Amino acid sequence: MCGPLKGIRVLDLTSVVLGPLATQTLGDMGADVIKIEGPEGDTTRYTGPNRSEDMSALFMGLNRNKRSIVLDLKQKGAKEVLWRLIEDADVFLHSIRPQAIERLGFAYETVREQNKKIIYAGVHGYGNDGPYSGRPAYDDVIQGLSGTADLMNRLVGEPRYMPTIIADKTCGLVTVNAILAALLEREKSGLGQFV
């Protein structure tokens, strides 16, 4: 790979669109992206048109420029593999709810103890506190809660979702910008951070 992020290793523990779009973009810029999937695989493997049963066009597009590994993080051996990968990683990006990633043993504080230079990005819909903490946040849910579906009401006379995955795509691009800024800051300070 060549590009401005050549030599940057990204651990991608994301699924669906937001996280995979972010890591696909980082990969397009030359980063070495390792996608880490559980045994069941990313759900987008089975979403929409496909040529093989577990390789939909959506999945293939969002996961280009990536290497991959299957790790069942509920198993001790798989956790040990991930810890070895974390030692040399520059970015750890996950879309696992905060409570679940903590139960697995990979919360920010724990990962940072292992690698002080890592950029740790948790992309999930809601923070650790508040009434929605721990709930999943899919694109349609965010479109409804943010009022985006009501904008379509003004256009076509009834509430509808935007005809694209607007929340995931927008947040994926914002995630890329945040990670790039954190990598630049690390060049100055030598330390990673939580994004």
Residues with catalytic function? 168
**Structural contact between residues 123 and 142, judged by C-beta atoms closer than 8 angstroms:** no
Closest C-alpha to 125, from 94, 170, 164, 95: 95
H or E, element range at 75:
none
- Alpha helices by DSSP H, 11-164: 18-28, 57-62, 76-87, 98-104, 108-114, 139-146, 148-156
Closest C-alpha to 89, from 188, 189, 181, 179: 179
**Structural contact between residues 167 and 150, judged by C-beta atoms closer than 8 angstroms:** no
**Structural contact between residues 39 and 30, judged by C-beta atoms closer than 8 angstroms:** no
CA 189/CA 184 separation, integer angstroms: 9
25: tokens are 């973009």
